[in-house]
């Protein structure tokens, strides 16, 4: 993981790079900002830069032994601490879930919490960092390093430590060892114990803007149209941007579903509506919610197109073609109802309601709303 692999936040990168270059590295730092913007990637890029034996042009080399160990997640001196869902009394440490964690860093580099819960098989429970972990950190910090490198503790979501664990960690931070560095990565720094916070150098990350995300996606081989769509959907969350792209073009799938469903609802085709509810229900909760988010965005885009108060350029050619005929049906008479019903369906799905029933009911509401907005009525 190199700085070059991260997206956006050049100021944060400069600050981290300067710490290493000037050899003024704080014993503890906190990288904070909203979820899904690449904080863990930056923490790992920093760690690689710190321990790289062949830094080049302000970045790690990516090929020296230290860089390779960090990339492969098997560096004996890099310790990852993260919230877990303990399955047994004997399994209270991050290291007991190391395989799941490696998979997480590989599959979900923008750190989706639902994905982590799924890997832990934790259902809807809230993973935590337990007090045993703080003891393990203290023990590992006291040991000498196994390589010549800095020993680094990367703590994901320190806000999920209970008070007992946090107080023990504080003791470690109060008596820092040389060549040992703590890098915490937090979505909600306001929930961290103030005494811990006060010992950490703060690095704030901000969501990258739409253009930055779009350019980064194009540089990664995404087509211009898809990159723009994903960047628009993401609103600064790289996690959402990559989810929108999906691995098989989720946006295209949602787009055809949106168009088919709207046509069927306008035609009052209840058979097609029933089929929609069954097919969509099979997508699973997370994906249904993303699909409904897409529907809501298309409703807004078509309303704006109809009112001619905006520009069409956030729609791709397929969406624009559809909008040319469809937009007149989204107007002041029904836009609120459409957005409310979409929101309601999404919230019901999030609450684990029967997806088929929710989606069929949603389809019936679409029928009513589209006819309410019929400009030829």
Other beta carbons less than 10 A from residue 87's beta carbon: 13
The nearest distance, CB 56 to Zn ion, in angstroms, is: 8
Contact between 252 and 357 (Cβ < 8 Å):
no
Q: Map residues 152-191 to x or -, x wherever contact with Zn ion holds by CB under 5 A.
A: ----------------------------------------
DSSP 3-state of 202: strand
- In this complex, which beta carbon is closest to Zn ion, that of residue 54 or of residue 211? 54
The yes or no reply on residue 342 touching Zn ion (CB under 5 A) is: no
- Count of residues that interact with Zn ion, criterion CB under 5 A: 6
Closest CA to 53 of 43, 42, 40, 67: 67
Rule CB under 5 A: is residue 64 a binding residue for Zn ion? Answer: yes
Q: 60, 112, 187, 306: which one contacts Zn ion (CB under 5 A)?
A: 60
Tokens linked to 78: 């890099």
Q: Does 25 bind Zn ion (CB under 5 A)?
A: no
Taking the C-alpha atoms of residue 295 and residue 283, their distance in angstroms, rounded to an integer, is 15
Q: How far is the CB of 307 from Zn ion (least distance, A)?
A: 54
Between 25 and 289, CB nearer to Zn ion? 25
State which residue, 52 or 210, has the beta carbon closest to Zn ion: 52
Radius of gyration of the chain (CA): 24
Which CB atom, from 50 or from 358, has the smaller least distance to Zn ion?
50
Which of residues 67 and 161 has its CB atom nearest to Zn ion in the complex?
Answer: 67
Q: What is the DSSP string of 251-313?
A: HHHHHHHHHHHHHHHHTT-HHHHHHHHHHHHTT-HHHHHHHHHHHHHHHHHHHHHHHT-S-GG
Helix axes 210-219, 238-245, angle to 10 degrees: 50
CB of 59 to Zn ion, least distance (A): 9
| DSSP of 153-198 | EEEE-GGGB-HHHHHHHHHHHHSPPTTEEEEEEES-GGGS-HHHHT
Q: Does 67 bind Zn ion (CB under 5 A)?
A: yes
Backbone angles phi, psi at 246, to 5 degrees: 60, -175
Q: Single out the segment in contact with Zn ion by CB under 5 A; choices: 65-73, 186-194, 308-316, 347-355.
A: 65-73
Which helix or strand (DSSP H or E) is residue 151 part of?
Answer: strand 151-156
Q: Which is nearer to Zn ion, 51 or 277 (CB)?
A: 51
| Residue with Cβ nearer Zn ion (61 or 122) | 61
Q: By CB under 5 A, which span of 66-74, 99-107, 236-244, 269-277 interacts with Zn ion?
A: 66-74
**Binding mask 33-52 vs Zn ion (x if CB under 5 A, - otherwise)?**
-------------------x
At 59, is the secondary structure helix, strand, or coil?
Answer: strand
Task: Assign 129 to helix, strand or coil.
Answer: strand
Among 35, 61, 218, 353, binds Zn ion (CB under 5 A): 61
Residues in contact with Zn ion by CB under 5 A are 52, 54, 60-61, 64, 67
């Amino acid at each position: 993981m190199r700085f070059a692999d991260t997206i956006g936040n050049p100021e944060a990168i400069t600050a981290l790079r300067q710490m290493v270059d000037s050899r003024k590295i704080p014993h503890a730092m906190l990288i904070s900002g909203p979820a899904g913007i690449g904080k863990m990637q930056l923490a790992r890029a920093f760690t690689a830069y710190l321990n790289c034996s062949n830094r080049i042009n302000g970045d790690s080399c990516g090929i020296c032994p230290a860089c390779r160990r960090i990339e492969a997640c098997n560096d004996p001196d890099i310790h990852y601490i993260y919230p877990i869902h303990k399955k047994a009394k004997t399994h209270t440490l991050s290291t007991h879930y190391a395989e799941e964690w490696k998979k997480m860093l590989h599959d979900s580099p923008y750190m989706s919490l639902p994905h982590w819960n799924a890997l832990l098989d934790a259902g809807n429970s809230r993973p935590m960092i337990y007090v045993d972990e703080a003891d393990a950190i203290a023990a590992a910090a006291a040991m000498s390093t196994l390589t010549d490198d800095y020993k680094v503790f990367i703590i994901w979501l320190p806000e999920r430590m209970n008070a007992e664990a946090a107080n023990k960690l504080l003791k470690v931070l109060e008596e820092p060892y040389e060549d040992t560095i703590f890098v915490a990565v937090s979505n909600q720094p306001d929930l961290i114990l103030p005494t811990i916070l006060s010992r950490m150098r703060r690095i704030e990350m901000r969501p990258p803007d739409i253009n930055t995300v779009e350019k980064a996606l194009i540089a990664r081989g995404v087509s211009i149209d898809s990159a723009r769509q994903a960047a628009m959907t993401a609103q600064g969350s790289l996690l959402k941007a990559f989810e929108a792209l999906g691995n098989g073009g989720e946006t295209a799938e949602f787009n055809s579903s949106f168009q088919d469903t709207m046509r069927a609802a306008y035609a009052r085709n209840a058979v097609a509506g029933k089929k929609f509810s069954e097919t969509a229900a099979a997508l699973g909760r997370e994906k249904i919610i993303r699909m409904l988010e897409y529907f809501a965005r298309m409703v807004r885009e078509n309303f704006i197109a109809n009112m001619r108060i905006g520009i069409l350029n956030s729609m791709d050619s397929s969406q624009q073609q559809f909008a040319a005929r469809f937009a007149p049906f989204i107007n002041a008479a029904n836009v609120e109802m459409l957005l409310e019903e979409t929101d309601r369906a999404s919230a019901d799905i999030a609450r684990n309601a029967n997806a088929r029933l929710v989606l069929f009911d949603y389809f019936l509401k679409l029928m009513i709303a589209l006819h309410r907005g019929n400009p030829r009525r």
